[in-house]
Amino acid sequence: MLDTRMEEAINRQINAEIYSGYLYLSMAAQFAELGMAGGQNWMTVQYQEELSHAQKLFDYVIERGGRVTLGPIEGPQTEWKTGLDMFEEAYAHEQKVTGLINDLTTLAIDLKDHATHNFLQWFIAEQVEEEATASDMVQKFTMAGEHPAGMYQLDKELAARVFTPPAAE
Ligand code: FEO
Closest of 71, 90, 73 to residue 82, by C-alpha: 90
CA distance 3 to 54: 19
Q: Verify whether ligand 1 is closer than 6 Å to residue 14 (CB atom).
A: no
Give the pLDDT confidence of 111-135 residue by residue, as tens digits.
999 999 999 999 999 999 999 999 9
Whole-prediction pTM: 0.96
pLDDT for 169 beyond 50: no
Give the pLDDT confidence of 91-114 residue by residue, as tens digits.
999 999 999 999 999 999 999 999
CA distance 111 to 132: 30
Atom of ligand 1 nearest to the CA of 126: 3
CA distance 143 to 17: 30
The top-level CATH class assigned to 4-72+79-159 is mainly alpha
Q: How many Å lie between the centroid of ligand 1 and the Cα of residue 63?
A: 21
Contact 57, 116 (CB under 8 A): no
Q: What is the chain's mean pLDDT, rounded?
A: 96
Task: For the chain, give every domain's residue range.
Answer: 4-72+79-159
Amino acid at 55: Q
Atom of ligand 1 nearest to the CA of 53: 1
